[in-house]
Amino acid sequence: MIRQKFFERKDLTPEQGAFLETVKVLMIMLGNAAGAFEQNQPSAALQVARHSDVIAETAAEELNHFFPHDTNQVRRMFAVVSLGQRVSDALYRMCAAGAAPLEGLDDSRGFLASLCRGMADQLDWSAKRRLLGAQRNGSTEDDVELSLSELPSSLAGEQKQERIQALLDFRDALLAAKDLFGLLDELESMSEELFPVMDEKYWKN
């Protein structure tokens, strides 16, 4: 887990800076998506989808002044950029599908909002979060898996075309959310590589 004060350091390498900026932008976008879904505003969710590429652009901008010292630094930098692109894509897919009519699925956007809150909590590496635990009461990847497992039976018993389409759109949003949770795990692993625990530069008090 990285520390909040890492975001304020002045001696970051380009890949560390790109990584932290990616995390910051993703946190903002997840908050925007959660708000859009909570307020049942599909147009706002679609706006988040349309701006999701900002995450990828944020990481890629660091390439403009990237002068690597070795091949490991190149590998780490392009890993950050690649992860930013995949996060952008997954967030786009979740918000675009969540902006569909979803007719008859009254609680679906509320659930998507809860998932966004859960993702934001997973990204929260603050001391408060580590001491007190989850602060956002969001849903988890297990909740996504449970919902996905229930969808086939719902689809099989449905005859109205509008309802079938709503279920398919909701499934697409859940699949994208599942991808996002997996990418959050990659972000955490990357943080451990970029800010190694054994390096006193980052971890000494």
Q: Residue 60 falls within a domain, yes or no?
A: yes
CA angle 19, 24, 27 (to 5 degrees): 125
**Residue at 123 is within a domain:** yes
Q: What is the pLDDT along the chain (205 residues), one digit of tens a residue?
A: 455 666 667 788 899 999 999 999 999 999 999 999 999 999 999 999 999 999 999 989 988 889 998 999 999 999 999 999 999 999 999 999 999 999 999 999 999 999 999 999 888 766 555 555 555 568 999 999 999 999 999 999 898 999 999 999 999 999 999 999 999 999 999 988 998 877 666 655 4
- 84 inside domain: yes
In a domain, 36, yes or no: yes
In a domain, 141, yes or no: yes
20 domain-assigned: yes
Number of domains present in the structure of the chain:
1
Other beta carbons within 10 Å of 26: 25
CATH assignment of the domain containing 190:
1.20.58.220
Which residues form the domain of 62? 12-195
7 falls within a domain = no
